[in-house]
Each structure stands twice: as structure tokens, then as C-alpha cells.
Structure 1
Amino acid sequence: MVHSGSNRLASFARRVPLEIKAAVWDCDGDRAPGPDGFNFTFIRHFWSILEKDFVEVLKQFHLTAVEDVLQWSWSREPDSGQEVTELTSCLNLMYRCKLGLNTDVWLWEADSSKRFSVKSARRLIGGHSDTSDRLGFVWNKWIPLKVNIFGWSLFLNRLPSKDALAARNIHIDSQLCPFCDEVTETLDHLFSACRFANEVWAGVSSWLKIPPIFAFGYKDILLFHCSLRTSKRGSKLIQAILLISCWMLWKARNKLIFEKSNSSANGVIGEIKPVGFLWIKHRAKSLGINEMNWSRFDLL
């Protein structure tokens, strides 16, 4: 609301001091109106000293000039302890605010230009990188986007395994692992504990000429490349192949459940090699991949 100010101020000066005192006395003595910690018992005790400051603060808020153009006021003054508390809290929040007539704009503090960009956001995240679940999965450009999304979902434990479906009260005929038919299918079991998965990892590690892959959970598979003593390029290549292997394991699992089509560990490995060759060869041309060095894996 916009007012000339003089009449409102005169009315304020006559009525408000008594109303403010009544409102302060109406408040719970243990409550503090601001972050300084002084409660209303303290304010009442020293009211003879603080009354003038209280009235002045509310008067300034009641009629505050904004760039000498607008003057704002409430339609009425606070008339209860709760309203005084809320008004004081509002004053504390607005103390450092500068009001103006210009259009509001968003400012991105992470960049000197104050403008948001994906590059500055990535730089901000990279500067606080860690190995937690929030930032532990690194996307790999040498494999298709769908495999990266699959790997990210696996890392976050978001794939629809049988135990996850049962936890959401989705009816399934059996919660047992489709490969071994012995224990409940969880992502940890499916990708690391199942005999079928272990046979696949034994064949993959033998082909890649890396130490045997022993994992206690699916995250050990996804982060296995980080433990290898190899170049950055070699680590990225191993990660790409392990993600493709997880993808193929999941596909074999789905074929068995939905199509009743059995797969062998050697069959899954036989799919990993040609699919990985086609995907990685055309996305990582600097590696100089050909059929010979791929089959022998002379790339590290």
C-alpha cells in the first residue's frame, strides 16, 4: 500500500506504544523475538529502557521509504504477542535487504559473471568431488548412453530386482534368483554372489588379463577399475567393459524370466566381446582397436 505518511505516522504515535506494550506482555516470557536470545521476560524487566527503541523500530517498518518514491505500511498494527514476534522475525530477515524498483534477477554466485552455466556447475561439483554414493559413479563416454543410465541406476540400487519389487508390494511368482534358484534375488547376489555371475567375471577377468574379480557387492564390480594399477585410459577401458558385462548379465536375466530362454556364462561372455568391440571401437578411435588386439586384449 502507498501512503503520504504524515496522517498514518500521527495515528501511529498516539496509539501504538500502549498496544506494543500490551502485545509484549501477552507473549510467553521464555520466547525470544530475535536471534540475540533476549526473551520477553528480559524485555519486560527493562521495558522503561527498551520501549522507545521498540516503538521506533516498528514505526520505521510501518512507514519505510524505498528510494524516496514509495512508502509502505500495514493496514493495521500488530495487536498480539504472536504478531509482534512474527513482525520482529520479519524485520531481522529484511534487515540487510535492499529494496528497489528494478526487476528482480537471479545471480549465480559460483561464477564471476553471476550467470549460470553448466560449465560453472560442473566446476563447482568437481571442486567438491568425493567417493560417496552421491558422486561415486563416473559416466563413461565410450559406451552408449543407455548403458551409462543402467550403470547409474545399478549404482543407486534402483534396478527392479525381485526383492525391490516385493518391497513395493508388487506380486511376483518367486523371489528366488533366476540363475541359481537358491536365494532371494538382490542386486548384490545377482551381480556378485551368484555362481552364474562368478563364472562370467572369471571369464571376463581372464580375457582382460587382470586379477580375478572378487566382489562382495555390485558396487565392488562398478568400482573395480579404480583399484587397478594401469593408466587413466586403461582404467576407463576396463570400466566400459565391466559396465557392458553388467548390462549383458541383466539382459540374460530378463530373457530367462520373460522369455524362458536359458543362457550360459560362456554365452554371455561371447556376447560381451563383440558388442563391446562395436560400441567402444567407434567411440574411442584413439585406442586403435582392431579385431586382433581386441580378441587378445593387447590394449593396456
Structure 2
Amino acid sequence: MLYGQVITAIHGSRGGDIIFSSRYSNGTWASICRCVNMIHSSNLIQPSLMHIKLGNSSLTSFWYDPWIDGTPLALKFPRLLALEDNKFDTVADRHPNGSWLWFWRRDPRGGIELSNFNSLLDILAMTSLSNNVDTWTWDGDSSCGNSVAAARRLIDLHSIAPFSCPTNWLSLYPSKVNIFIWRLRMNRLATKDNLERKGIDLPNYLCVWCNVQNESVHHVFVSCVISKQIWSYLGSWINFNLPSWNNLEELWIWMDNLSVHEKKKIVVRSIFYSVLWNIWRLRNSYVFNDPTFRISHVLDNIIVTSFFFGFFLDTKNLGLIGPFGCKIL
């Protein structure tokens, strides 16, 4: 309630209506208005999905709220709005005794003004009021009703690409590593090809290591000569001949279909997560000219990370032991 009073004090008695707020305004409320306008203009949520169910109409703006056909009268009849003296009246203010009141600067003239006025009267003739309180209704998701969850579900449905493969969240690792793997599988990392698709200009879009191929998640993590060298180091460390993958999809398929016990698969996945995380750290060190992290450090970091999160070496059989006591591969 207090925030509403603050908005009203800054932006006027209507609080700076979302659909009428200036795009040049500054501040938190203006940012909210711009976000809502973007959602509407992108058809993520159509304004017609939200409308007012009239009761006694004491809370509904006559001109600015979408109480008729989901569109504010101010947008339907801008010429009449220009003639209006009391632009912020409620519907109840205009219909006190069963008849409609008007407060024009001058009466509507012939032509488009009179035609719009007659159309407005035809629309209002079909309006009926009650003694109930005005309420907002939401047609986007009947299962959730008028809720933030319903709006979020609808936005996600139109803006997030479907992803059938679930991300395996490993509690052994920090959240930032799990989130990194999730973004990697969704191809949402800030690789140069993704930045190019977002319209960000860069001096070039080549791999920072080989300067031959365009940088993509597939190139950085599996097909570049540097990443291939790191995977080769890993195979030597765990004493296993890893295949050569052409893209990340092949790596995910190989890892998910590995014919070992589920506990061993968790250990393998954890080590692979460590490799992918450290490859990305190495890539960023090249991009941002960080001299403290180089390829010579990657394998050491992979081993340290694996040991830190619960793996240790079976000195008798020279194999890796996971946190469940199982030797991998």
C-alpha cells in the first residue's frame, strides 16, 4: 500500500499507467513499465488475457483500464480522450445515477469525433454494474488463476526452448558448477557465436586458442586442439581410453549411456564436470588476459577438484575411488 502511494506521488494519480508510461522515464517503476510493454509487444503475454470484471466500478479507471474488450478506451478513442477534462475518473464517477456523465472541453464535433462518440455510447449501452468489488481476471492459465506463477509459466513457454534431457544436479559440487553445466547443456554460455547471435560486435569470432574455427561450445569443450589435449590428459590419469567426440551431444550421450554401475557413473560424471568447468576457466583466462591460469594448471585443478569433492586414489590398485567407495572404470 505504501509503495502504491509512493508511485502515485511520483507518477501521478494513475501511478504512471504501464501502457502509457514514457519510454524515456527513469526509475524502478519506469523499468517495470518497460518490461511489461516488452512482454506485451513480444506477444509473450497478450494484454487481452488480463481484463477487469466490473462490480461497482469504483476501482476502475474509465479511460485507462481495460474494462471493455480488454482494451482501454483511451486507446480505442484517443480523439475523445483529447477532449476530456477529467481523464482520471473511475467508471463509477461517470455512472452515478444510472446515466453516463461527460466532461468535455467542448462537445464532439461532426466527422470522426462524433462517430467515435456514437460508437462509445453503443459500447456503454451494453455495460451493466453490480454491487460487488471490481476484480482482475486472468485467462492465461486456469489451473493457477491470477498468479505470478501462471504468468511465469506462460512466459517460459514462449521464451525458453524445450529441453528434453534433464540436467543431472550433483550435490557434491557447488551450485555455480551445477548451474554452469546446466547453461552449457542449454548452450547459454557467453561463447562468441552466442554473443554474435545477440548482436554483440567483437573484433573476431574465432577461437581464442587456435584462431582457426569460430568459437562455439562444441569447439571449446571437445573439438579444439587444446580441449582434445586436456581430454587426453584425463584419459591418461584415469587409465582409460576416452573416445574422440565431435560435439557435446556425443559427449552427453556417451556419459549417460556408460555401462557401469550407477554409483560409478556419478563418479565419472563428477570428474567430467570438473574437466568442463576447468576448460571454461582456461578459456576465460585467455579472453581476459589472466596470467594466473594456464593449460599447465588445468589437469592439476581437475585432480585437486576431484579429490576435494570426495574422490581419492586407491594406491594398491592405482585406481580412482569415489565417495561411495567404488573404483571407477
Please report the TM-score for the alignment, with normalisation by the length of structure 2: 0.47
Residues 1:196 and 2:218 are matched in the alignment: no
> Quick check: which has more Rg, 1 or 2?
1
1:247, CA displacement in angstroms?
Answer: 0.4
Separation (CA, whole Å) in 2 of partners of 1:133 and 1:223: 15
Residues 1:224 and 2:254 are matched in the alignment: yes
Q: Which residue of 2 aligns with 1:290?
A: 312
Equivalenced residues, count = 200
1:229, CA displacement in angstroms?
Answer: 1.2
Q: Which residue of 2 aligns with 1:180?
A: 210
* CA deviations over 1:66-105 (Å, ceiling 9, x no partner): xxxxxxxxx9xxxxxxxxxxxxxxxxxxxxxxxxxxxxxx
1:168, CA displacement in angstroms?
Answer: 1.7
Q: Which residue of 2 aligns with 1:270?
A: 300
Contact 1:225 1:239 survives alignment (8 Å): yes
Residues 1:152 and 2:179 are matched in the alignment: no
Contact 1:221 1:242 survives alignment (8 Å): no
1:291, CA displacement in angstroms?
Answer: 4.4
Residues 1:138 and 2:161 are matched in the alignment: no
Separation (CA, whole Å) in 1 of partners of 2:240 and 2:275: 15
Structure with bigger RCO (C-alpha 8 Å, 6+ apart): 1
Unmatched 5+ residue regions in structure 1? 3-74, 76-109, 111-131, 282-288
Identity of aligned residues (%): 21
Decide whether aligned partners of structure 1 residues 179 and 243 sit closer, same or farther in structure 2, where only a CA change above 3 A counts: same
1:133, CA displacement in angstroms?
Answer: 2.6
1:144, CA displacement in angstroms?
Answer: 1.4
What are the residue-to-residue correspondences of 1:102-141 with 2, within 5 Å? 133-141=163-171
Residue identity matched to 1:242: F
Q: Which residue of 2 aligns with 1:214?
A: 244
Residue identity matched to 2:250: D
1:272, CA displacement in angstroms?
Answer: 0.2
2:274 to 236, 244, 248: 244
1:137 aligned counterpart, secondary structure: coil
Separation (CA, whole Å) in 1 of partners of 2:179 and 2:214: 25
Unmatched 5+ residue regions in structure 2? 1-54, 57-99, 101-142, 144-161
Please report the TM-score for the alignment, with normalisation by the length of structure 1: 0.51
1:273 aligned counterpart, secondary structure: helix
Contact 2:312 2:320 survives alignment (8 Å): no
1:223, CA displacement in angstroms?
Answer: 4.2
1:215, CA displacement in angstroms?
Answer: 1.4
1:227, CA displacement in angstroms?
Answer: 2.1
* CA deviations over 1:138-182 (Å, ceiling 9, x no partner): 211221111100000000000000111122222322211111121
Separation (CA, whole Å) in 2 of partners of 1:154 and 1:260: 25
Decide whether aligned partners of structure 1 residues 219 and 140 sit closer, same or farther in structure 2, where only a CA change above 3 A counts: farther
Contact 2:313 2:320 survives alignment (8 Å): no
Contact 1:188 1:218 survives alignment (8 Å): yes
- Note the aligned Cα RMSD (angstroms): 4.7
